[in-house]
Structure 1
Amino acid sequence: MITHINQDYLLGVLGRLLAIPSPSGMTDDIVRLVCDELDTLAIDYELTRRGAIRAHLPGRAKKPRRAVVAHLDTLGGMVRSLKQNGRLAIVPIGTWSARFAEGARVLIHCDNGRTFHGTVLPLKASGHRYNEEVDQQPSAWSNLEVRIDEASSSIDTLWDLGIRVGDYVSFTTAMEFSENGFINSRFLDDKAGVAAILAAARALSENGLKPELDSSLLFTISEEVGVGASHVLRGNVAEMVSVDNGIVAPDQNTSEFGVTIAMKDSSGPFDRHLTSHLLQLCMDQEIKFSRDVFIHYRSDAAAALEAGNDIRTALICYGLDASHGYERVHVQSLTSVAGLIGAYLCSDPLFSRGKNVIGEEKSYPLIQNSSEDRPANR
């Protein structure tokens, strides 16, 4: 592998990222953390008007320019109404199932600067009262409420505490780092991808490696609500690799212990040339990999293309079980992703400037005796 990835650093950064609530729309604190980390790594960066991060890695050549992108925002909730019983009705931020919200501990973030702890409960929560009705209640956000840890039994009490409609609700991660390399937590999507990018950048610096092309490290703040990388590009990027979660599930081919190259998601196929380039890098660098197709999924890349950017895009993934729920990833998968990011940044351009933009026929890599995982659904 072209770069040695420091797993201790990767896990340390990931732990700090997970400790900061960052539902879409409430990302200032997580942006500050990543900016501090970029300062430590001596990487120049700038913030967009909306608060996304555009970091710069000087390369051996100025053009064409590359980018690697991951998102800092997560799923969350928002107060929909203050209820007469002193509890809160909520709606989701992002797309996720209410069944993964039931029983969760949360923080309510008020405009006056106060935060309140609470628990998300179904409307019929007590088995001693409702008996079998507890199990018969459909899983839906309209059937949930937040019980706050205050002496609150009326809407007037909630108002006096400073709680208002539109206050953000962040969900605790319940993160756990196991000795065998598994990481369990909410919101590994996509803080695990952010940690992998930072670990790759550190590895390049420590090994004295310079990217082949000027490259941007992009950290977006609204992917979970569909905006993604639509607002962070400036028109000078030719190719962009998105880093996000792969799907560990039946009938999927994602590698739980390596990197997964996405061939297509719900927005369509990824760029054939760039994807083939990444597959070849996995071969050359002996990085364990799989290929997969995602049906109910989109990433920062889709938003960038929909915004009108004329760029090649690809998606590389770490293997994530129970995405948008109680997620799990293995550190080996994150290490593989970070290694591929480093190899990609140090690789030759797809095509020389001014050459045929669709390439010559011989430019397509032929993947033969590979280190690819056997099909996951065999």
Structure 2
Amino acid sequence: MSQEILSVLEFMEKEKGIPREDMISAISNAIRSAATKGVNAGQELRIEINPKSGALKAWSILEVVDSVGDPRTQIHIEKARQLNPEAEVGLFIEKEVDPERLGRIAAQTARQTIMQRLRQFEKERIYDDYKDNVGDIVTGIVRRRERGDLIVDLGKAEAMLPPRERVPGEDYSPGERMRCLLLAIEPTNRGPELILSRAAVRFVRRLFELEVAEIQDGTVIIEAIAREPGYRTKIAVSSKDPKVDPVGACVGARGARVKSIVRELGGEKIDIVKFSSDPLELLHEAIKPAVPLNIKVDELNKRIYFEVSEDNLSIAIGRRGQNARLTSRLLGWKLDISKEEVTEVGFDERMKNAIKGWEGVQGISDELAAFLVQHGLVSPEAFEGVEAKDLVKLGFSEEDAGQVVKLVDAHRSASSSEAG
């Protein structure tokens, strides 16, 4: 058994990083506990393991008496003095026990207990190794599936990528390397469980932090992110340095930086916009290429109502409302989007509007204005280049035609002077 113990000590110390002293303590306690429940039931034992050789020694702890009632816990004074000349009644002495006498059942139980303790040590070690990495990106190799969960080998431990944290459409085969966010360490009956994620918003944030040097040094700041995993992400960025374009820094030369992240995300689209503390400015940036019109803001309920042209409606809302949802999350405001109401103006209405346009010309009556509009002279501006002879052709007398031209020219001259 000594060789087995030594092998366990060396393996756990080198491969798992568990200190030899901790292992020896666990094994000693396990053997003592198992032995006192087997053939040595009722005895109090002391177990010692040599850390270099793995050699096991055991002693039973006996009370010195002058009349033995229970030989498993007591020893007569005469026999005690053969082991220790200074033994006295009422004191306790140790008597070495052959480890083989601890019993086969005790040894089997000890092995089981040792393995349980080893697993516990390993789980505790996992927590210590990874507790400071929660929220960071880790790399592992896909090993297998268990009840729908993907088991990923991180090197020192195995982690779980549950279905809820996977990206729709992504599929991984055993042996494939993958990057994930270490989302959490969850306590379970089997010990701490490492939970991974590729669907979390934090995963995209960490990819940008790793890829964009300006984010790493704090020049560019990620102000807000909204994501629908596998489909689209919107990210708003700002810059502490006015000379640095935050959007350009994230995109990179010829789009190299953002393309790298898009590849990691399996082709997920990424919209990068310049952040503004003004929600309306940010709305204009985030909803592009659609243009919000007739905006109304409900500050109390943090709601923005706006319209877009019919051509832009599908762009603003996006597939299954995706663009509108992501923009809403990015702003932190609820959005109500509707199509711009365009009123078709009829012929009669256009005629009335044109006649009103002549009201500012002194001396031009409504009847005269209506006559001019009917013949295509819809405004004083449209009168440019018109001469008296042209009006004569329309049925004016030479005198009336000359008078109309003078009135219109006088109005145009007055308007030009005011503009100057």
Structure with a larger share of its residues in strand: 1
Interval containing the TM-score (normalised by the shorter chain):
under 0.3
Q: Which has the higher contact order (CA 8 A, sep 6+)?
A: 1
Greater percentage in helix = 2
TM-score by length of 1: 0.22
